[in-house]
Each structure stands twice: as C-alpha cells, then as structure tokens.
Amino acid sequence: MDTLEVALGARSYPIHIGAGLIGDRELVGKTITAEQVLIVTDTTVAPLYLDALQRSLAERTCRTHVLAEGEQHKTLATLAEIVDTLVAENFHRDACIVALGGGVVGDIAGFTAACYQRGIDFVQVPTTLLAQVDSSVGGKTAVNHPRAKNMIGAFYQPTAVIADIGTLTTLPPRELAAGLAEVVKYGLILDAKFFGWLEDHVEALLALDADALGHVVRRSCELKAMIVAEDERERGRRALLNLGHTFGHALESLGGYGRWLHGEAVAIGTVLAACTSVELGKLTVSDAERIEALLDRFGLPTRANGLSERAILEAMAIDKKATAAGLNLVLLDAIGTGIIEAAPPDELLLSVLADLAAN
Ligand code: NAD
Ligand code: GLY
C-alpha cells in the first residue's frame, strides 16, 4: 500500500492506494473511527463491494443508503433522500458518511456530509478509475442543476481516501476509458513525461495491468494533491484541473447527462481545448494530433457530432467557471504546460466548435 497526503493544515488527510484495501479490517477500522457510519453507494457497486466494506466495519453501527446508479440521479432530490435516512436513523454530529462508488456517489455523499448538521465527517472509498484519480481527492462536492452541471455544491474535504485498485477489475471498459481521460489531463497540464509514459502503456492499462494502474492512480493523486494543497478553493492554479471541462460540461448538459459519460465529454473537451490552443498559436498541430491520437487509442470519443456550435457556446456561458469578467479557459502552451486564459472571441470558438462538433 502507498499513502500520500493532501496537505491542508488541520484538514490534511491521507490517500491510501493499493489492492484489496476495502477488505483490510485494520486499515478501514483505523481510518473510519466514528461509531455511527452511513455507507452511501449505488445499485451497481453495492452487490460487488458492500459486503466486504461492512465486514471491515463490523463493530460499528453501520447503515446503508443505496442510490439508483447514474449521473441523472446526481440531484438535490437524491441528497434530500440521504438526509431523510440520516434523520430517520438518528445520526449525530460525530457520525461519518462513507462514499463507496464512483464520482457520482462521492460528489453527492460529500455534499450531503457538508450539509448535514452543518458538516459531518466523510471518507471516500472510490471504486472507478475516474474517482480514484480525480473526484475523491480535493473536496469538490456537488449535485447538478437540470441546466448546469455541479451548480449546487461546496468545497468540503474528506477525512481520508481509500482507493482500492482491486475494484477496477470489475469496471466496464467504457468506464475505464472515461477515467483515463482525466489521467491524460494531468499529463497535459503538468507533466509531459507522464503523458509520454501513458503513450507507452496504453495496452497495459486497457488490459488492467495492476502495476500500470497503480502507477496511474499514484501519479495522478500526487499531482492533484499538490495542486489542491496550493489552491484549495480554486482562486488560481487549481483551475488547470478543468482542462476540457468547460467544453465538456456544456456537452454533458446538452446531452441530458446521458449521451456521454463525464470522462467522455472531457475527452472531447480536451480536443476542443487543444484545437483552440492551436488556433491561438500556442500549441503545435503535431502536439494536438498526439493528444487526439492518445485519447482515441484509449477508446474515447473526440468529436461531438450533431450538436450546433452555437448551442455549445451558449451552454459554456452558463458554466459555473464563468465570472462577471467573462469565461476563462484552460489552454495548452505545450504538452505538459497548461495555462489559464480569458476565452478568445466567440468567432474563434465558433469556428473550432464548427470543425469538431457539427460534423
Ligand atoms: P459514476 O459514479 O457514475 O460511476 C460510473 C459507473 O460505474 C456507474 O454505473 C457505477 O455504478 C459503476 N461502477 C462504479 N464502480 C464500479 C466498479 N468497481 N465495478 C463496476 N462498476 C462500477 O461515474 P464516475 O465516472 O466515477 O464519476 C463521474 C462523476 O464524477 C461526475 O458526476 C463528475 O462530475 C464527477 N467528478 C467530480 C470531480 C470532483 O472533483 N469532485 C472530478 C471529476 C469528476
Ligand atoms: N476536478 C477538478 C478539481 O478537482 O478541481
């Protein structure tokens, strides 16, 4: 097992990474210390991993709330249902919520923990690659508004993350690829060497090679922990982690949170960000081709066929990363060097979107 730290002073917490951690009674027992524990999970993950986690928490008062699976349930109504369970079971302020599942479970459970009695502890037990490399770390919690992604939420850090990479063996290939989109992001914004390593390990990763997956989760968490420690509330550099997300969130919302998985929308958004960077003379065409080729080898979509460029631009303007001063975008100066800039004029964005979206 490897343990990293997210260094946030009194709110610092460990990220434990390894295979079989959910069944490690000693680790789980000392990481989740509350007497009352509510495990929030979903209908797909519960039959796979709930028993093992409950066995590791055998001495606690442990209740479970199982959500219907999927992004379309990441709503305030779902949060209210979890609060109903907490109230019905008489959960106190020193209780702990454990999020067992992907990013949807983690985001909803974390936001519920932030709200219940003005904040109770929560521990992330991510079971998708996307959640292990990204959403379980850093304290962004939220639910969606029907018109805009993650519109209602809070920065609220977990007290620990237990990333059991053994759970990735049951992940459907499409979900694995969606997580790899966020992994590619780290290479693009911060670490050219890691991007090159990914190019050399596509087959190993798609074959769920444990060493390759372990390296990917560790390196991604190291990079994310570094950025979060520097800029917890996204006043500056943390926004780099949104590469492809302003485009991607617009696509997710236009697709009714059902056409593309989050990571797939991010992959298309990453290509759009790369093409915008090329148009602005920042990135070379050959680097943009390398980026698209890697996403494609991971089996990710790189085009948003059938959408109008104007609809995408309008959806981007609602994104919560827009400020009164306008929209910022994450662009690339090179592979490994992300930059945050005011969005270019609409005409330029519309021409990039027309090339990549409306085919
Ligand atoms: P998800 O939670 O919907 O999980 C994807 C699917 O995989 C679901 O059907 C789930 O039931 C299933 N699943 C989970 N673990 C499994 C396993 N081990 N084996 C088999 N099936 C399994 O989606 P996700 O991709 O994990 O997360 C996407 C969400 O994360 C989005 O809502 C996105 O906005 C959010 N997100 C948040 C942050 C953040 O910083 N908070 C960062 C990135 C993404
Ligand atoms: N996923 C973006 C962030 O955590 O900031």
Task: For residue 269, give the nearest of 295, 232, 297, 230 by alpha carbon.
Answer: 295
3-state secondary structure of 129: helix
User: What pLDDT was estimated at residue 52?
Assistant: 98
Show which of 121, 140, 170 is a domain's final residue: 170
Show which of 170, 192, 227 is a domain's final residue: 170
**Which residue has its alpha carbon closest to ligand 1 atom 39?**
135
- The verdict on 184 and 117 lying in the same domain is no
User: Mutate which of 223, 238, 249, 270 to test ligand 2's pocket (most atoms within 8 Å of Cβ)?
Assistant: 238
Total structural domains within the chain? 2
In the predicted model, is pLDDT for residue 358 greater than 60?
no
- The verdict on 199 and 342 lying in the same domain is yes
As a whole number of angstroms, the distance between CA 259 and CA 218 comes to 30
Q: To the nearest whole percent, how much of the chain has pLDDT over 70?
A: 97
**Which residue has its alpha carbon closest to ligand 1 atom 29?**
103
DSSP 92: -
User: What pLDDT was estimated at residue 315?
Assistant: 87
Count CB-CB contacts under 10 A for residue 304.
27
In the predicted model, is pLDDT for residue 320 greater than 70?
no
3-state secondary structure of 277: helix
As a whole number of angstroms, the distance between CA 239 and CA 340 comes to 7
Binding pocket residue ranges, ligand 1, CB within 6 Å: 42, 44-45, 48, 69-71, 74, 101-105, 107, 127-128, 130-131, 134-135, 138, 140, 150, 167, 170-171, 175, 178, 261-263
Q: 């270019």: which residue's tokens? A: 344
Show which of 136, 152, 170 is a domain's final residue: 170
135 alpha carbon – ligand 2 mean position (Å): 7
In the predicted model, is pLDDT for residue 239 greater than 60?
yes
State pTM to two decimals.
0.95
Q: Give, in degrees to the nearest 5, the angle at Cα 329 between 271 and 224.
A: 80
The band of 187, judged by pLDDT with boundaries at 50, 70 and 90, is very high
126 alpha carbon – ligand 1 mean position (Å): 8
- The verdict on 255 and 117 lying in the same domain is no
Contacts for 245 with CB less than 8 Å, ≥ 6 apart:
266, 269, 321, 330
- The verdict on 155 and 261 lying in the same domain is no
User: What pLDDT was estimated at residue 322?
Assistant: 63
Q: Which structural domain range is residue 198 located in?
A: 173-356
In the predicted model, is pLDDT for residue 325 greater than 70?
no
CATH of the domain at 133: 3.40.50.1970
The band of 327, judged by pLDDT with boundaries at 50, 70 and 90, is confident
The band of 324, judged by pLDDT with boundaries at 50, 70 and 90, is low
User: Which residues are part of the catalytic machinery?
Assistant: 118, 140, 182, 224, 234, 238, 242, 245, 249, 262
Task: Mean pLDDT check: name the lowest of 122-131, 145-154, 171-180, 226-235.
Answer: 145-154
